[in-house]
Structure 1
Amino acid sequence: MAPKTTKAAIKDSLANLSQDKFAEFVEQLLDRREPPKVRRSEVEGKSRLAVTNLLVSTFTESKAPQVVQEILRDIGCSDEADELGKPKGPILKVESLSFSAPVGNPMAGAVRAGNEHFVDKYQLELISRVSNVAPILDELLSEEAGVKGQGWISEVTV
């Protein structure tokens, strides 16, 4: 079973709330004192899916679950907060991964998981966790411009 994405876990937590509790959740979200702040116009009359997307885009995939758990506990929904904190399925955890790819052979020296290349083995999980592609593309374009004519990027750290 593939790991549940952050967005799917938050969506499921909000789906379990009654209409009243969801309205209370939205009010608590608007009343948060810590930045980033959410504007009323961004959540007023929005569906649970739209609020989920807003949470992930505003607070990032790594911080959104913590914000949601905090608000759920504040409105008396500790069971939903605890459920959101539980891992669903296998967890892909990469502390630090580094490999060199010499010019002319981009896959030489790549880290392998078993007999399969790490990226090939975990491709779907890695892709499913990307929520904001623009900064990645900007970085790749700037790196490509910096090494143009030198071959492949020599060091990649994940």
Structure 2
Amino acid sequence: MTDLTSLNLAEARDALRKREFTALELTEAYLDAMAAARKLNCFITETSDRARDMARASDQRLASGGAGALEGIPLGIKDLFCTKDVLSTAASHILDGFAPSYESAVTANLWREGAVMLGKLNLDEFAMGSSNETSYYGPVINPWRRTDDPAPLAPGGSSGGSA
């Protein structure tokens, strides 16, 4: 079988609709990839159980023909956006422990279309930066290196975890 994490969004969407694999299988592939890359510090909060629940719900909607535009597609959410009952910190110690009782418009739209949340992605504190070195939760590590220079490279910012 193809490495499910190598599919682009359109390929994954089309294969889900053809039932070539399930949303839960796709989500599990991404959760495995997240675990393997944990040392890169891309995620502030992982939501594995929620992701599995969302994927199962997507599989039910796909089976009944009620799929949204992003049905079953796993993704990370920049920790700048509030997600109901999930740690939402903007990578700041000031908001450490904050789990809002409401959903941001951005994430509400994603859930309405069937997206599956893997977790909350690291970023520069309050998205104010360009190197992802100011997060209270530590910098994101760029896995890439230049062949002639072993010096670490910045992943970019403010969305370093997304990169």
Instruction: Kindly name which structure, 1 or 2, has the bigger radius of gyration based on alpha carbons.
Output: 1
Q: Name the TM-score class by shorter chain.
A: under 0.3
Q: Between Structure 1 and Structure 2, which shows a larger proportion of helix residues?
A: 1
TM-score, normalised to structure 2's length? 0.24
